Amino acid sequence: MKKLFLVLIVFLPAITICAQDIIYKKNNQTINCKIIEIGLVEVKYRIPEKYKEVVLVIAKDDISKIKYENGEEQTFVNEMYDKNSYADNKLNAIKLHIFSPLYTYLAVSYERSLKAGRSLEGTLGIIGLGYDPLNFSPAGVFGKFGYKFIKSPDFYLRGMKYAHLLKGTYFKPEIALSTYSNKESIFNFVTNTSNTERQTTFSSALLLNVGKQWVFDNQFAVDFSVGLGYGITTMPKNDFLGYSPQYGFSVEPNSGLTWTSNFKVGYLF
């Protein structure tokens, strides 16, 4: 019995410490303590074996999780990136490239928010739907797919969050593909005559876009962006010396330089 009593005396403090709450900090440090209160922005705790009556405080933003003495765990997320902070935000947007019919195509984009600061956007364009002042009679399609990185604030204050998950300045790498045919005038230098033929062009590009999107009343969006990149096209190099229209994005066949600009108005749902 005496030996058992001695064993209990030796191991009881260790058992008590193990039974304490544990704060796991984001820098991988841990704090063995007794949680007193969890507030909106901070957590109050005591370390009984060191400071019996002293109440210590740690910011919730510095905590990754708390493991309580009963084994339950509670995780903590920065309010700016916590999905619960944006429960009322509409996460999807359908956007019309409002000026696209003036350039002989009609394009629509779909954007889906993945999380705070990240979204996916895809675009489909039907070439040939729109104003055709030069009578090229184009027909074809193009598609784009990009990943948006929406800018976060330069500095962070407690309680700060995005005004809306889809709102803000962004950077968007994007892949673009197109195929279409135009009526082209082909001049025959032997017979000194010209004929009209349809020529098909295939193009692809990698674009780096910068832009800004505004959201109004969690219902409407306005998006403007420009992009530069590199691409390849089957358009003959000498054709570009004259006027040969391209749709959705343009590839300069002599150098591969690619550019685009977009103005979109959308509806959130």
CATH of domain 86-268: 2.40.160
What's residue 17's pLDDT?
47
Per-residue pLDDT of the chain (269 residues; tens, 9 = 90+): 555 545 445 544 544 445 689 999 999 999 999 999 998 889 999 998 887 789 999 998 899 999 999 999 998 887 788 888 899 999 999 999 999 999 999 999 999 999 999 999 999 999 999 888 878 889 999 999 999 999 988 877 777 889 999 999 999 999 999 999 988 766 666 666 667 778 899 999 999 999 999 999 999 999 999 999 999 999 877 655 445 568 999 999 889 999 999 999 999 99
Question: What is the C-alpha to C-alpha distance for residues 135 and 154, in angstroms, rounded to an integer?
Answer: 50
Domain with CATH 2.40.160 in the chain: 86-268
CATH of domain 20-76: 2.30.30.100
What's residue 190's pLDDT?
67
DSSP sequence for 194-205: EEEEEEEEEEEE
Taking CA atoms, 266 is separated from 17, 49, 93, 95, 102, in Å, by 57, 60, 6, 4, 18
Question: What is the C-alpha to C-alpha distance for residues 247 and 223, in angstroms, rounded to an integer?
Answer: 19
- pTM across the whole model: 0.78
Cα 65 off chain centre by: 26
Nearest partner of 235 among 250, 217, 215, judged by Cα: 250
Give residue 128's region: left, alpha or beta (phi > 0; psi -120 to 50). Answer: left
Residues 138 and 181 sit within 8 Å (Cβ to Cβ): yes
Domain with CATH 2.30.30.100 in the chain: 20-76
Question: What is the C-alpha to C-alpha distance for residues 151 and 165, in angstroms, rounded to an integer?
Answer: 11
What's residue 244's pLDDT?
59
What's residue 49's pLDDT?
82
Question: What is the C-alpha to C-alpha distance for residues 65 and 74, in angstroms, rounded to an integer?
Answer: 5
Q: To the nearest 5 percent, what fractions of the chain are helix, strand and coil? A: 15, 55, 30
- SS3 at position 259: strand
The two three-digit tokens of residue 62, written as one number: 């510095």
